[in-house]
Amino acid sequence: MSRGVYIIGSGEAKYGELWDRSLREIAVEAGLKAVESAGIRTKDLGAIYMGNSLGGDISMQEHLSALMSDHAGIASEFVPSVRVEASTASGAAAFREAYLGIKSGEYEIAMVGGAEKMTELYGSEIIDITSSIIDREWEAFTGATPAALAAISARKYMADFNVPREILAHISVNDHANASLNENAHFRNKITLEQALNATPIAEPLNLMDCAPLSDGASSLILASENYVKEHGIEGVKIMGSAMSQGEFALHSRKSLYTVEPTRIAAETALKQAGIGIKDISMVEIHDSYSIYGLMALEDLGFAKKGNAREIVENGIGIDSNLPVNPSGGLKAKGFPYGASGVGQIVEAYNQLKNKAGKRQVKNAKYAMTHSQAGSGAASIVHILGVE
């Protein structure tokens, strides 16, 4: 027996370098805002799913789900909670677990949280820790970092399809333009193509402006069953498709250095569940932790054939374009708190579909797609949301 699942509320703590705020503080803020926005009471929660990737290594704090719910003052409600980890897709994975929990009939209402505190450590040390999202023994051991692997994909992609650096840079320029309209974004400044092209090299051919920043941040959503939504006359946003797929862990194990097969399969599955086609999508939030991953995602999700994402980018991906990409500001400019980003993308999609996105509102948004990727592409999670 399965049933419809809806999003009925959202909350966020601003993304950024929040040196004065702790992991538990931002997680609690986002969670309580979501409860408030959904108009429910914490005692109504059937379960809490918390996405977090590196809390153990960065803050030396595990079991964030329990810590967060206690500090939200709801220990006395005895709500079951669990932390979900799938590296940079942890948030989307937590969201999917909550969706499945309600769909199965076990819960009527569930909370999803995503939180990460990336700025607790400085400089090169955090690069070592973030390299735990790639193969420690056979990639990171040799000097590979997440950025280095993205750069290896980028060089091959640019050579095989004759794509100039400008096309990659457009992804970041678009993110910054959109984030300038998002008060929860890490970066509010617009950048020019020249600035994007001439930043400090990180792993050639990628520079600082191709790479999402280390951000602190937390996002939260409240999910409810179809029964609950109907009984209470709530106009939620429907989760029409939810799919996760997983492939080879290390980049060197994949057939192609610029194809994330799990993205292709997850998108296909989610679209089929939703009963719509890729052309019906009104807006998409993609996992552009590195600009090259943005281009790869547009292709693997099905918006363009392999090697042709440049056509979409050249046609425009802004908020008023045919395919608005990352109206939130994306991972590059809204920010990239690992475990929060996957939830944050869905918060954006929810607000867009509720027509509550303010200055960055996408016109006539009906169906939104969100895409979260783990590491260099070991796994992908795709969701499709819609309003009836």
Residues within the interface to another protein (CB under 8 A): 124-125, 127-128, 131, 137-145, 147-149, 151-153, 155-156, 159, 200-206, 250-253, 257
* Residue 81 burial (10 A CB sphere; 0-12, 13-18, 19+): buried
Whether 231 and 225 have beta carbons less than 8 Å apart is answered as no
User: Quick one: 206 or 240, whose CB is closer to another protein?
Assistant: 206
* Residue 164 burial (10 A CB sphere; 0-12, 13-18, 19+): exposed
User: Quick one: 257 or 368, whose CB is closer to another protein?
Assistant: 257
User: Quick one: 184 or 259, whose CB is closer to another protein?
Assistant: 259
Encoded amino acid at 314, one letter: E
User: Quick one: 262 or 327, whose CB is closer to another protein?
Assistant: 262
- Nearest Cα neighbor of 265 from 282, 280, 251, 248 is 248
Whether 3 and 226 have beta carbons less than 8 Å apart is answered as yes
Rounded to a whole number of angstroms, the minimum distance from the CB of residue 143 to another protein is 5
Does residue 201 have a cis bond before it (omega within 30 degrees)? no
Rounded to a whole number of angstroms, the minimum distance from the CB of residue 122 to another protein is 11
Phi, psi dihedral angles at 68 (to 5 degrees): -65, -45
- Nearest Cα neighbor of 340 from 14, 5, 6 is 14
* Residue 62 burial (10 A CB sphere; 0-12, 13-18, 19+): middle
The residues facing 5 across adjacent strands are: 225
Rg (CA), the chain: 19
What six digits make up the tokens of 100? 């499945």
Whether 279 and 139 have beta carbons less than 8 Å apart is answered as no
Rounded to a whole number of angstroms, the minimum distance from the CB of residue 211 to another protein is 9
User: Quick one: 143 or 233, whose CB is closer to another protein?
Assistant: 143
Rounded to a whole number of angstroms, the minimum distance from the CB of residue 378 to another protein is 14
Q: Quick one: CA dihedral 7, 12, 16, 21, positive or negative?
A: negative
User: Quick one: 10 or 131, whose CB is closer to another protein?
Assistant: 131
User: Quick one: 144 or 369, whose CB is closer to another protein?
Assistant: 144
* Alpha carbons 142 and 138: distance in angstroms, whole number: 7
Rounded to a whole number of angstroms, the minimum distance from the CB of residue 57 to another protein is 13
Reduce the DSSP state of residue 165 to 3 states and report it.
helix
Rounded to a whole number of angstroms, the minimum distance from the CB of residue 304 to another protein is 21
- Nearest Cα neighbor of 376 from 210, 215, 260 is 260
Rounded to a whole number of angstroms, the minimum distance from the CB of residue 249 to another protein is 11
User: Quick one: 63 or 155, whose CB is closer to another protein?
Assistant: 155
User: Quick one: 202 or 283, whose CB is closer to another protein?
Assistant: 202
Rounded to a whole number of angstroms, the minimum distance from the CB of residue 53 to another protein is 17
Rounded to a whole number of angstroms, the minimum distance from the CB of residue 338 to another protein is 17
